[in-house]
Amino acid sequence: MEKELFPVYFNKPVECTNEPYEGVPSELTIDNPADYIQPWSGFEPECTLEDKNDCKRLPIQTSNIKIEDIYADIEVKSNHWIEMAGDLARESVAEGGGPFGAVIVQIDDETNEVIRYWKNHNQVTAINDPTAHAEVVTIRNACHSLGVFDLSCIKKEESKLPQQGATSHCEIYSSTEPCPMCYSAISWAKMPRLFFAATRFDAAQQGVSFSDEEIYSELKKSYANRKMKVFQCSTPNSLDAFNLWKRSNKIHY
């Protein structure tokens, strides 16, 4: 029943053999920013909007928007994993989905070889689930396949899938800077590295219009000053579960 309800969550991982993991791509060094031209695929999709004039008002973007030094000291070059995530995002749009893709790579800690990887894209409209972002779907898929909820240290004896070394870990590649929900999901999965390509400012551009700035702004405010009305309830049993948790044998996560 589970797989019938949510088939998009349970696509099979792609197994790899003796593929070394390159790790973090080399740092992007720009000697003269004024002369720097960002690499671009050259992809110029045909305009299929009813009003062709709309495409004239929505020009092709060839470089990422980076402001406020948010990305200082984290800029690196590309690799095939992040390009795979970008291809997934493009495929998603072609299939009627949102323009986002993600890849999770499992690396053996002893050999530093890629064991397998999971790939998926945004499934919000496909299954009517507003939380089915590319990163969330791919995390669910990887955790379900492995039988774990911590992707930072997967022990051989606990994993549902084989691995050579005693431990392995996962890293995630996202086509676009993750939204606050997806960033939190990546954090809860404890993955040590996140790589993304397009920025949240690229996602907010006219015609794309996936802006998370309202959420970022809201999180900086006190609850009383947020757009959503939020209330903290003084309930007699509010701490019962916590008190039971801290005095019980448990699986820590």
Residue numbers annotated as active site: 135
Q: Fill in the DSSP letter of residue 137.
A: H
Q: Which token pair is 108?
A: 């053996």
Distance, in Å, from the CA atom of 185 to the CA atom of 8, rounded to the nearest integer, reads 18
- How far is the C-alpha of 158 from the C-alpha of 147, rounded, in Å? 8
Calpha distance 103→84 (Å, rounded): 7
The span from the CA of 103 to the CA of 37, in Å, is: 27
DSSP string, 52-99: HHHHHHSPPP-S----TTTTTT--B---HHHHHHHHHHHHHHHTTS-S
Lookup: tokens for 186: 């990546």
Give dist(CA 219, CA 149) in Å, integer: 26
| CB atoms closer than 10 angstroms to residue 205 | 15
